[in-house]
Amino acid sequence: MTWKTIPEMVLSSADRFGDAEAVVDGSLRLTFREVVHRIRCAAGSFADIGIHKGDRVAIWAPNSAEWIIAVFGLLTAGGTLVPVNTRYKRDEAADIITRSGAKAVLVQKDFLGIDFEVPAGVSVIDIKSDFLSSGTPFTASIGPSDIADIMYTSGTTGRPKGVMMNHEQVLRLFSEWCDLADLREGDRYLIVNPFFHMFGYKAGIVASFIRGATIHPVPVLDVGRVLDLIETEKITMLPGPPTLYQSLLSANDGSRDLSSLRAAVTGSADIPVDLIRRIHNELPFETIMTGYGLTEAGTVTASRSGDAFDQIATTVGTPCADIEIRVADDSEVLIRGYNVMQGYLDDPDATAEAIDVDGWLHTGDLGEIVEGGRLRIVGRKKDMFIVGGFNAYPAEIESYLLEHPAVDQVAVIGVPDERLGQVGKAFVVAAAPVTEGQLVEWSRTRMAGFKAPRTITFVDRLPVNATGKVMKSELR
């Protein structure tokens, strides 16, 4: 790796890949030379509105060519990215925008009828307006240790925490990811993973500019649209959650030409061995990679070429270069290396709790080391469950449910779901009359769909131990 910052890498792509296609978004087709010019102009636009080195800007918008130009323009201007989940409701997004100190928020108006209402005093910019193209080309002076992004992740406290990563960490880790995932120059990369997530942003658009792959952003996952793009654009690279591949297998009736597909990357949930076998046997993928990662440390482990189906499905592979993992006495997975976050924004106590004095990051995941030094994840210490590839945290969901006047006590767990892997189930002690349907519908108006519980059971009391802690094992 020869670059020290993300903008240095991105801007160099104009010389490295020139007139090769960088981004294809509907009728818009941009070469690396063209997109780099637009990124420089976007940097000027951010500078014009007073975004200086270290200033934070949120992007609350779906995958698009403009998202790519906006984020790299922002970084080139010296700013710091704060991505916001498009599934978040107003209050959830406002909390992140406010606590991050974002000076501005880029939104895509009229997307899926979402109310992109932001806190008072924060500038709102339509990402589809001429803002990104109105500036004079500009490049700020930044260094490898400067914070590149602050990605918010939830924990046992129920309040999302801002994970700080610097430029050098992102470049080093995802340069290696390109090799592990078999991403090649000239690949056509269909990015269905949302850009607000590490999988879509860092393993998606950053990796594509590192390697010289063409990005095809998908704003909303629609299997029919995905099949159309694979066929017409000759897609070669298609990472995604296991549910994506299950949908492809269901829709693959032989009427579509999927022969261009070469590389698959999945994870985020337990994967049946038979699914890996079917992906290999019934779809044209030559390579399938699974791995383990988290916002606080990026991609930590990955499977390797030659791993058997059961190894790919039941373990998350071996550590990436210069990353240490060990399993503590209580089976918690610990991580140490250059990839560990710089800390949680404005939260030294939570940072000290997560990273011990010896530099080990305590992940909250439970695991074991098996044959060949592979890591197997066996549970989640913090009760997190994964809904269609998105992390859902019971404590955060419970805090929202407790705002309902009819809810006195609540406990949330993840339960199996055939389509999404897991979904939320709430156990509620009611303080006033309320039906399951009313509470489910209310939840959907207050929190992202993947967080909202799908079912609710009313109970007279929650099972607790001697210290008053809810025993969720009994609920399960």
CATH number, residue 453: 3.30.300.30
Q: Which long-range contacts (CB under 8 A, 24 or more apart) does 355-363 make?
A: 360/326, 360/334, 360/335, 360/336, 361/296, 361/297, 361/334, 361/335, 361/336, 362/328, 362/332, 362/334, 363/294, 363/296, 363/297, 363/332, 363/333, 363/334, 363/335
- Find residue 80's DSSP bridge partners: 56
The contacts of residue 396 (CB under 8 Å, 6+ apart) are 154, 158, 159, 160, 451
Residue-number span of the structural domain to which 399 is assigned = 385-475
Domain-located, residue 13: yes
Strands 56-60 and 104-107: parallel
Domain match, 342 and 203 both: yes
Q: Is 99 helix (H, G, I), strand (E, B) or coil?
A: helix
The pLDDT assigned to 97 comes to 97
Mean pLDDT over 71-84 rounds to 98
Closest among 5, 2, 39, 41 to 22, alpha carbons compared: 39
The predicted-structure confidence for 47-57, as pLDDT tens digits, reads as follows 999 999 999 99
Q: Is 409 helix (H, G, I), strand (E, B) or coil?
A: strand
The pLDDT assigned to 338 comes to 98
**pLDDT above 90: residue 122:** yes
Q: Of 115-124, 444-453, 466-475, which range is least confident?
A: 466-475
What is the spatial distance between Cα 476 and Cα 470, in angstroms, rounded to a whole number?
12
The contacts of residue 198 (CB under 8 Å, 6+ apart) are 151, 293, 295, 298
Cα–Cα distances in angstroms (integers) from residue 457 to residues 372, 437, 465, in the given order: 44, 11, 20
The predicted-structure confidence for 146-176, as pLDDT tens digits, reads as follows 999 999 985 444 688 999 999 999 999 999 9
Give me the helices (H) in 152-201, please.
Answer: 167-181, 198-200
The pLDDT assigned to 268 comes to 56
Q: How far is residue 206 CA from its own chain's centroid?
A: 13
DSSP letter string, 246-286: HHHHHH-SS-S--TT--EEEE-SS---HHHHHHHHHHS--S
- pTM for this entry: 0.86
The predicted-structure confidence for 343-381, as pLDDT tens digits, reads as follows 999 999 999 999 999 999 999 988 899 999 999 987 677
**pLDDT above 60: residue 205:** yes
Mean pLDDT over 108-131 rounds to 91
Domain-located, residue 426: yes
The predicted-structure confidence for 300-329, as pLDDT tens digits, reads as follows 999 999 999 999 988 999 999 999 999 999
The pLDDT assigned to 467 comes to 43
- Find residue 294's DSSP bridge partners: 298
CATH number, residue 285: 3.40.50.12780
Domain match, 429 and 361 both: no
The pLDDT assigned to 466 comes to 45
Instruction: Among 319, 336, 369, give the residue marking a domain's end.
Output: 369
The predicted-structure confidence for 232-280, as pLDDT tens digits, reads as follows 999 999 999 887 898 899 888 888 999 999 999 997 555 778 889 999 9
Mean pLDDT of all residues belonging to the chain: 93
Q: Of 6-20, 174-188, 276-290, 390-404, which range is least confident?
A: 390-404
| % of the chain residues with pLDDT over 70 | 96
Q: How far is residue 74 CA from its own chain's centroid?
A: 19
The pLDDT assigned to 155 comes to 46
Domain match, 426 and 341 both: no
Domain match, 333 and 390 both: no
Instruction: Among 334, 369, 404, give the residue marking a domain's end.
Output: 369
The pLDDT assigned to 226 comes to 96
Taking every pair of C-alpha atoms in the chain, what is the biggest distance, in angstroms?
67
What is the spatial distance between Cα 233 and Cα 188, in angstroms, rounded to a whole number?
8
Domain-located, residue 396: yes
- Find residue 82's DSSP bridge partners: 58
Mean pLDDT over 208-230 rounds to 96
Residue 225 is encoded by which pair of tokens? 């649209």
Domain match, 352 and 415 both: no
Mean pLDDT over 194-209 rounds to 96
Domain match, 145 and 283 both: yes
Domain-located, residue 52: yes
Domain-located, residue 376: no
The contacts of residue 121 (CB under 8 Å, 6+ apart) are none
Domain count, the chain: 2
Domain match, 393 and 342 both: no
